[in-house]
Structure 1
Amino acid sequence: MQDDYQAYVAPKGPQESKDAWPTVDVVSQPHIPALDGLRTIAVYLVLVFHAGVSSFDGGFVGVDLFFVLSGFLVTGLILAEVEERGGLRLGHFYARRVRRLLPAALVVIVATSAIFMLVASAVQRLPWTGDAQSALLYFANWRFIHQEGDYFGADVDKSPFLHFWSLAVEEQFYLIFPLVVIALVWLRKRWRPALAVGLSVLFLASFAAQLYWAEHDPSHAYYGTDARLYQLLAGALAALSLRAVRRNRAQDAGNRLRPGVGWVFLAILLVAATDLVDFTPSTRGILATLATTGLVLTLAEQKDRSLAWLLGRPTVVYLGRISYGTYLWHWPVLLLIPYWLDLPAWGMALLTFAVASGLAALSFEIFEHPLRTGRWLRRFGWRTVVVGVAASAVLAVTAVPALLDSHRAPATASTTERPSLELAGAGDEPIPTDLDWAAYSAEVGAANAYCTLEETDVCTEHEEPTGPRVMLAGDSHSLMLTPTLKALAEEHGFSLFRSSVGGCSWQRGVTKPVHAEAKREQCGEARAALYGGLIDELDIDTVLLTQLPRGNDLADLTDEELIGDALVERTVRESLDYFAAEGVRVVVLASALVPKASIGDPLECLATSTLISQCRVPAPTSAPLIDSFYRTADVRSDAVTVVDINPVMCTHWPVCDALDADGHPIWRDALHFLPSALSKRSAEIWDLLEATGAFAS
C-alpha cells in the first residue's frame, strides 16, 4: 500500500559498476520522515472506517492518501534514476516492487485462508477462493467490480480479501507506469514538454473516468483502475513539478506556500474523512486527492515545520513504516473479532489497532525489512520477479484452494450452539457429510432473459404450436423457477417466455436506487417492453409473476414523492390492472418463505451445524405486506389469482426442514429456494398452477 523509498536509497560509497545495483542519490530523493507520518494517518483512517466508527464514515479516503503518496514517491524514484543513470533498469525496478510488496501479502493471504478455514463455514468460504487468487495475482479490484454487478454474487464486504483491491490498483500502476515514463522521457528529447503533457493527459483521462463512473456505476468508480489512476497520477505530477521547481529556484512555485498551509490541507483531509460533510464517495476522493497533494508538496518542501515535526515523531514514523503490514492485517482481524467478541465500533477499532499493528511490526522486523534491504538480493533483477510471480501463482492454485475449498466444518461457529427446533413426526438426524456445497451454491436456475419489441425471440424457453402462451416475469425468483416451469411447459404442452432480470421488480414504473445506472437501464428496458406491447406481440394468454417481497428498496421512475408501502400498493394495483385490461390471466406467486434472522442462510446453517433440527425454519407469523396487495387484487378481479407454493416446499408447515427426506437442501440461500428443490416438486407445483384455470388450453 506504499512505496518505501528508504529501501531504494543506497548509501553513498565507491562508484559501482554499470551492472551493479543502481545507486539513487539521496540528494535527489531525500528521506522525509513526515511522509511516513502521512501513511500512519492513512492506515488508521481506513481502520476506523472499516471498524464502523460512524464519525469517520468517510475514512476510506485514507486509501486516496496512499494512492497520491505512492504516485509521488515512485515517480520521484523513477525520474531520479532516469536522470542520473540515463535510463531505468526495469528488472531491478520490478524486483524492488516484488520484494517490497509480495512477501507480506503472501503470508497474510495464506494465513487468512488457514484461519478462516477453521472459523467459517464451507458455504461462506466458497467465493473466497477466487478472491484470494485474484489478490495473489493482483486483479482483485476487477473481480469485486464483477461481483458487485452480479445479483447472485457473494457479499463482497464479507470477504477477508476485499482490501486487496487497492493493492491490485497499485500493482497495475507499477506494471505500466515505468514503461509510460520511459516512452515519454524518450519523446522529451524531441519535444521538451512531452513528460508533463503526457502525464497531464493521462490524469485528465482518468479523472474523466472517475466522474463518468461515479454517475453510472459507483462500484466501478470506487474499484476501477481507470477511475483511480488520477490519484496516483496526481502524486506523479506533484513529483514532476517538485523536481522542476528544485532545478529552478527562481521560479519556485513551492516558495509561494506559506507556513501553516499544511495544517489547512490536513484539516481538509480529516474533514473529508468524517461525517461533518455529506459528500458522495467520489467527491470525498477528489477532495482528499487535492488535500493530499498539497500536504505532500508542503512537507516535501518543508514549508510547515510544526506539522513536519508532529508527523516526524519516531512513533508516528514507525507506525507509518509498518502501515503496509497494518493495512494487510487489519481487515481479516476485523472480520475475525465477531466470532469471539461482541464489541462496539470503537472497541473493534482499538483491538484491531493493537492486533494488526503488532502483527505488522513482527512481519516487518522478521522478514519484510531484511528481504527489502538485503544487499545480496539487489543483484537479482528479473529472476526475483519471476520467482515472485511463480510463488504467487503456485499458492493460488495449490494452498488457497486446499484451505478454502475444504469441506471441513468450522471449529468455532455460533450456529453449532443453536438449539434444535422440534418438528412433529420428524427425527433428529445428523446432517449428511457428503453435501456438495459448491454445486448447491452455484444453482441460480437461469440467466437473465427478456424480449424487447424489436427482438422477440431471445426470451423463448419453450414454444408449442397449440396450448396457452405463458409469460414468466419477475426478479431472481423467476430465474430460480425457470427450470421447473420449462420442464412443465414441455410436459404439459404450453409455450413459455420470460421477462426475468435479477433484482428487478415486475411492478411497472419502479426502480431500485441502489442499482448502477446500467442495471436500472436493463430493468427499465425489460419492463418497458413488458408493459409496452410485448403481451400483444407474443400473443400471451397468461402472465406468471414472482418476486421477493418489495418495499422501501423501490423508488418511483417518474420522480414523484411516493415511497414505501404507498408506492408498492399503487404499482402492484396498476400493473395487475394493465394485464387485466390486456385480456390475459394473471397468476401471482405469494412471496417465498424467507428464513428469520435467527436462522439466516439455511445452507450455511447446514454447513456449520451437526443436526438437521438445528436448521429448521419457522414460518413467519404474518405474510409480507405486499402479499396483502396481491390478495386484494385477487378478490376484486377475476383475472388475478394468487398461488402459494410455500406449503409445497415446506411439507411440515409452519416449520420447515432445511433438508428434505432425501437429504436434499431446500434453500440456496436466505432469499431463494434451490432450483433443483423446486424441480423435485414440479408435480405439486403444477397442481397448484393448473387449479387456477390459467393454464388450460
Structure 2
Amino acid sequence: MAATSTAHVEPLTPQGPEAASGKHRSTAFRPDIEGLRAVAIGLVLIYHAGVDWVPGGFVGVDVFFVISGFLITSLLVREIERTGRVALAQFYARRARRLLPAAALVLVAAALMTWWLLPITQRRVFGLDIVSAAFYVVNWRLADRSVDYLAEDVAASPVQHFWSLAVEEQFYIVWPLLIIVGLLVARRFSTPLRPTLGVALALVVVPTFAWSVHQTAASPSTAFFVTSTRLWELGIGAAVAVGALWWKRLPRAFAIVLGVLGALGLAYSGFVIDAQDPWPGSLAMVPVLATAAVIIAGVSAADTGVNRLLAWRPFVWVGGISYSLYLWHWLFIVGGTAHYGELGAKRGLLLTALAFIPAWLSHKLVENPVRFSPRLARSNGLSLSLGGNLSLAAAIAGLVLCLPLVTARPTPVAADPTKPFGAAAIAADEQGAANLWKLDTADSITPAPEQATADVPDAYDRGCQVSQDSSEPVECVYGDENGDVTVALVGDSKALQWITALDEIGKERGWRVITHTKSTCAFTAADVLRDGKPYDTCNEWNDAVTALLLEQKPALVITSQNAARAAAAGSGSSAGTSEAMVAGLEERWGELSDAGITVAAIANNAAPDDEVYECVAQHPDALSTCAFEATYPTREVQSAAARATGAVVLDLSELICPGGKCPAVIGDVLVYRQGSHLTRTYVSTLTEPLHAQLVSALAATPAAPLMED
C-alpha cells in the first residue's frame, strides 16, 4: 500500500527521435504516474476510512507494487544503458535517503501513540511489531500472526501498514542483483540487454504468480502478507519498464484504448472486488494489469485522455506526498479507533484528511531536505550510515515498549501464601462465592494482565495444536509417558486449555495422556464451519483422528469445544444449526462407544463480550466492571449429545462463574486470557475439582477401573 519511490527521484533524459519531438515519454518525469500514485493512495485511504462503497480499496497496494517495479527497473536499466553498470552502493544510498528518514519518524510516533493510547496489554506485541517494521520484516511477522490462533484477539497494529513497505524493501535489495545477473548473461552470450531481462523476468513472474494462486487458496491469511506471493506484481511493473522501447511504437489509438481499459480495470477493482475475495491470487491480475496498461499508455502517447487526467495538478500534488501520507494515515485510524471505538465512515474520512497535515510537513521538513542534501548525495557511506542509524533508533523506540517498567503495573501487595489461590477461593467460601464478582480489588493478580496472553499451555510451544490450514493429526504425550492406561484429549483450543490439569492428573494416576487438537475445530462427525464456510481441513482432520483413536483404543477420550453449530446437511446455511452439531457429536461419540472407548465432555466455559485481561489492565481498582453474565450454548449441545450416546459431561461452571456471574479475578488469579480461554494458572487451580468430577462421572461407566487407586 505504500509508494516507496517517486516518479521524479532521478529524472532520466529521454533519448531518440520520439523524445526530441516530445511525442512519446519513457522514464523522464511522468506526472501521470504521480497521478496514478494519487489514485492508489486514495483507494487505500478511503478503504481504511471505512467507506463501504469502495470495498476493494485495498488494491491500492497492488497499484503501488506495479509502479515501484516499473520505476526502479527503469532507473536500473537506463543506468546500465548509459554507463554499462549498476552502482549498487549509490542505488542503496538513494533508497536510504528517500525512504528511511520519514519511516523512522513515523515509527517513533507509533511507539509514542502505543504508549499513550493503546492497551497496556499489547505494548509488547506492538513494540516488537515496530522493531520488525524498522528492519522491514514486519510482513513476515504479521503473516505468522495471521495463522497464530493465540494472536487472533490482538488488535490492529499501529505499524500494520508497514507490511507493504517491507515487501518493497526486500524487493529493492534483491532486484538490482537480478538485473546485474541479467547484464552478465547478456554480455556472456552477446544478447540484447532488454530481451535478456525479459526472459529473466518471466522466470520470476510466472512461478511466483503460480505460487501466489496456490498459496492464496491454501493459506489466504499468510498469502496476503508474504513477499513470495507479491513478487510477480512488482515483476509486472518491471516488465513494463523493460519493454518501454516497444510500448513507444504502439499506435496512438491503441494506446488511448489501453489507457481507458486500464482505468476501467482500476475502477472495477476498487468498486467491485471486496475483502471476501481470495487475495492476492489470480484476481489480483485485474488491478495489476490495469495499472500496467495505464503506464504503457503513458509511455506510448503523452496526451491520452486517461493520462492527461492523471497529470492534473491536484493529482500530481497528492502523488508527490503519497509516501508520507501512507505512513501517517494509519496512525490516525488506529489512534482514533482506540479513542472513539468504532469510527464510522464520516469520522474515518475526517481522520484520514487530518493525516494530510503531518504528511505534508514531514515531506517538506524531513523527506526532501534529506533526500536532496548535497552532502549526503556526495557520500554513499554517509547516506547508508544515516539510514541505518535512523532505523536503529526506531527499533529502540519499539524495544522500549517491551521493557517491564513500561509494560507492567507494580503489584500493590505481595501475594499471601495463606490465602486461597484461584478456584480454592470458591471452595473456601461457597456461600459467598456468588458475590466474588463484586470485589473491585485484589491483593495481587496472577498472571499480570499484560502477561495473560502468554499464560498458555506449553503445548503451543511444542507444536501440539494443529493450525487451521493443516489436516494432519499431531500427537503429544503428557501425564505418565510410560503409563499402562492411555487417555486422549481431543478437540479444539478449548479442549487444549485443560491439558495443564490433565497432565497432573495423569501423573498422579499413571495415565499416559495424549493430545489431538486443532484450532477452532470441534471433534464431531458434522461438517464444521469457519466464518460461514466449510472448514474442510477440520473435517478431514476429524476423520483422520477418529481413525487413529479406533486403532489406538484409548480407555477414555476427553473432549471439549467452542462451536455450538455445524452445517445442516443440504441446508446451504452459512450459520449452521445446533441440531446438526448434536447429531455430529452423537455419531462421533457413538463410534468410540461402539469400540469400547468412554467419552467425557468438559462443558465449555462462558465467553465474555470483550477481552477480560484488557479490562483488568485498565480497571485494576474496579474489577467488578470486568465481570459478565454467564451463557453456555455449547454446554447444552454437549449435554444433548451425551444423553443420546451415554457419554458423560463434566461441568465446572460454578468454579468459573459462581452463581451465573463470571468474575475477572478469582482468588487473586486472572481467569481469562484470549477471548473465552482460561489462563493456564487458573486451570491449574481446577486440577483437583476436575479430578473429582472425573472420579464421580466415570464411576458408573465401563471406564470405572480408571479410577481405581
What TM-score do you get using the length of structure 2 for normalisation? 0.85
Q: Which moved more, 1:376-385 or 1:134-143?
A: 376-385
- The amino acid that maps onto 1:623 is Y
* 1:672 alignment partner, one of 664, 668, 677: 677
1:649 aligns with 2:649: no
Structure 1 residues 429, 463: CA separation in 2 closer, same or farther (over 3 Å shift)? closer
Q: Check the 8 A contact 2:408/2:450 in 1, yes or no.
A: no
* 1:275 alignment partner, one of 269, 272, 277: 272
Structure 1 residues 105, 516: CA separation in 2 closer, same or farther (over 3 Å shift)? farther
Q: Which residue of 2 aligns with 1:253?
A: 250
Q: Which residue of 1 aligns with 2:551?
A: 537
Structure 1 residues 156, 75: CA separation in 2 closer, same or farther (over 3 Å shift)? farther
1:316 aligns with 2:324: no
* 2:515 alignment partner, one of 486, 498, 513: 498
Structure 1 residues 479, 615: CA separation in 2 closer, same or farther (over 3 Å shift)? farther
Separation in structure 1 between the aligned mates of residue 465 and residue 224 of structure 2, nearest angstrom = 30
1:141 aligns with 2:151: no
Paired-residue identity, % = 27
Spell out structure 1 runs of 4+ moving beyond 6 A: 464-467
Q: Check the 8 A contact 2:479/2:503 in 1, yes or no.
A: yes
1:182 aligns with 2:180: yes
* 1:262 alignment partner, one of 259, 263, 288: 259
Structure 1 residues 113, 456: CA separation in 2 closer, same or farther (over 3 Å shift)? closer
- Alpha-carbon distance, 1:606 to partner: 0.9
Q: Which residue of 1 aligns with 2:418?
A: none
SS at match of 1:257: helix
Separation in structure 2 between the aligned mates of residue 425 and residue 317 of structure 1, nearest angstrom = 59
Q: Which residue of 2 aligns with 1:16?
A: none
- The amino acid that maps onto 2:138 is A
Structure 1 residues 378, 47: CA separation in 2 closer, same or farther (over 3 Å shift)? same
Q: Which residue of 2 aligns with 1:86?
A: 84
- Alpha-carbon distance, 1:359 to partner: 1.2
Q: Check the 8 A contact 2:437/2:661 in 1, yes or no.
A: no
Q: Which residue of 2 aligns with 1:630?
A: 638
Structure 1 residues 345, 456: CA separation in 2 closer, same or farther (over 3 Å shift)? closer
Q: Check the 8 A contact 1:431/1:610 in 2, yes or no.
A: no
Q: Which residue of 2 aligns with 1:482?
A: 499
Deviations for 1:202-255, whole angstroms, at most 9, x for unmatched residues? 111211111111221112332121111111111111011113555xxxxx1364
Separation in structure 2 between the aligned mates of residue 456 and residue 205 of structure 1, nearest angstrom = 30
Q: Which residue of 1 aligns with 2:543?
A: 528
Q: Which moved more, 1:231-240 or 1:496-505?
A: 496-505
Deviations for 1:129-187, whole angstroms, at most 9, x for unmatched residues? 22111111111111111111111124566111111111011001000000100110121
1:227 aligns with 2:229: yes
Q: Which residue of 1 aligns with 2:118?
A: 120
- Alpha-carbon distance, 1:491 to partner: 1.3
* 2:486 alignment partner, one of 435, 449, 469: 469
SS at match of 1:152: helix
Separation in structure 2 between the aligned mates of residue 163 and residue 276 of structure 1, nearest angstrom = 20
1:640 aligns with 2:654: no
Separation in structure 2 between the aligned mates of residue 105 and residue 515 of structure 1, nearest angstrom = 39
Structure 1 residues 40, 456: CA separation in 2 closer, same or farther (over 3 Å shift)? closer
Separation in structure 1 between the aligned mates of residue 482 and residue 543 of structure 2, nearest angstrom = 27
Q: Check the 8 A contact 1:65/1:292 in 2, yes or no.
A: yes
Separation in structure 1 between the aligned mates of residue 267 and residue 523 of structure 2, nearest angstrom = 44
Q: Check the 8 A contact 2:67/2:237 in 1, yes or no.
A: yes
- Alpha-carbon distance, 1:339 to partner: 3.5
Deviations for 1:426-473, whole angstroms, at most 9, x for unmatched residues? 54326758964454321221235389xxx9994322347776431111
Separation in structure 2 between the aligned mates of residue 139 and residue 285 of structure 1, nearest angstrom = 23
Separation in structure 1 between the aligned mates of residue 526 and residue 342 of structure 2, nearest angstrom = 43
Deviations for 1:529-581, whole angstroms, at most 9, x for unmatched residues? 3321x334333111111111332xx558x988466114323212211222221
Separation in structure 2 between the aligned mates of residue 676 and residue 163 of structure 1, nearest angstrom = 35
- The amino acid that maps onto 1:121 is P
- Alpha-carbon distance, 1:76 to partner: 0.8
Q: Check the 8 A contact 1:334/1:348 in 2, yes or no.
A: no
Q: Which residue of 1 aligns with 2:425?
A: none
- Alpha-carbon distance, 1:319 to partner: 0.8
- The amino acid that maps onto 1:151 is Y
* 1:619 alignment partner, one of 629, 634, 637: 629
What TM-score do you get using the length of structure 1 for normalisation? 0.86
- The amino acid that maps onto 2:169 is E
Q: Check the 8 A contact 2:269/2:286 in 1, yes or no.
A: yes
Deviations for 1:79-134, whole angstroms, at most 9, x for unmatched residues? 11111112111111001111111111111111011112111222122321221111
1:216 aligns with 2:227: no
Q: Check the 8 A contact 1:472/1:478 in 2, yes or no.
A: yes
Q: Which moved more, 1:103-112 or 1:458-467?
A: 458-467
Q: Check the 8 A contact 1:7/1:373 in 2, yes or no.
A: no
- Alpha-carbon distance, 1:409 to partner: 8.2
SS at match of 2:230: helix
- The amino acid that maps onto 2:6 is D
Structure 1 residues 483, 503: CA separation in 2 closer, same or farther (over 3 Å shift)? same
Q: Which moved more, 1:31-40 or 1:608-617?
A: 608-617
Separation in structure 2 between the aligned mates of residue 434 and residue 480 of structure 1, nearest angstrom = 17
Residue segments in structure 2 that go unaligned for 5+ positions in a row: 15-23, 410-433, 467-471
Separation in structure 1 between the aligned mates of residue 41 and residue 374 of structure 2, nearest angstrom = 29
The within-5 A match list for 1:543-692 is 543-551=557-565, 561=572, 564-565=576-577, 566-595=579-608, 597=609, 600-620=610-630, 622-624=631-633, 626-637=634-645, 639-650=646-657, 652-661=658-667, 663-692=668-697
SS at match of 1:269: helix
SS at match of 1:8: coil
Q: Check the 8 A contact 1:51/1:346 in 2, yes or no.
A: yes
Residue segments in structure 1 that go unaligned for 5+ positions in a row: 13-25, 247-251, 412-421
Deviations for 1:2-26, whole angstroms, at most 9, x for unmatched residues? 31142323899xxxxxxxxxxxxx9
1:326 aligns with 2:340: no
- The amino acid that maps onto 1:656 is C
- Alpha-carbon distance, 1:78 to partner: 0.8
Q: Which residue of 2 aligns with 1:395?
A: 394
**Length, aligned pairs only:** 652
Q: Check the 8 A contact 1:58/1:275 in 2, yes or no.
A: yes
Q: Which residue of 1 aligns with 2:453?
A: 441
- The amino acid that maps onto 1:653 is G
- Alpha-carbon distance, 1:42 to partner: 0.4
1:307 aligns with 2:299: no
SS at match of 1:259: helix
Separation in structure 2 between the aligned mates of residue 52 and residue 431 of structure 1, nearest angstrom = 43
- Alpha-carbon distance, 1:69 to partner: 0.6
SS at match of 2:605: coil
- Alpha-carbon distance, 1:77 to partner: 0.8
- Alpha-carbon distance, 1:501 to partner: 2.0
* 2:41 alignment partner, one of 40, 43, 54: 43
Separation in structure 1 between the aligned mates of residue 209 and residue 96 of structure 2, nearest angstrom = 28
SS at match of 1:510: coil
Q: Check the 8 A contact 1:409/1:608 in 2, yes or no.
A: no
Separation in structure 2 between the aligned mates of residue 313 and residue 28 of structure 1, nearest angstrom = 19
Q: Which residue of 1 aligns with 2:707?
A: 696
Separation in structure 2 between the aligned mates of residue 636 and residue 28 of structure 1, nearest angstrom = 75
- Alpha-carbon distance, 1:614 to partner: 3.6
Structure 1 residues 153, 201: CA separation in 2 closer, same or farther (over 3 Å shift)? same
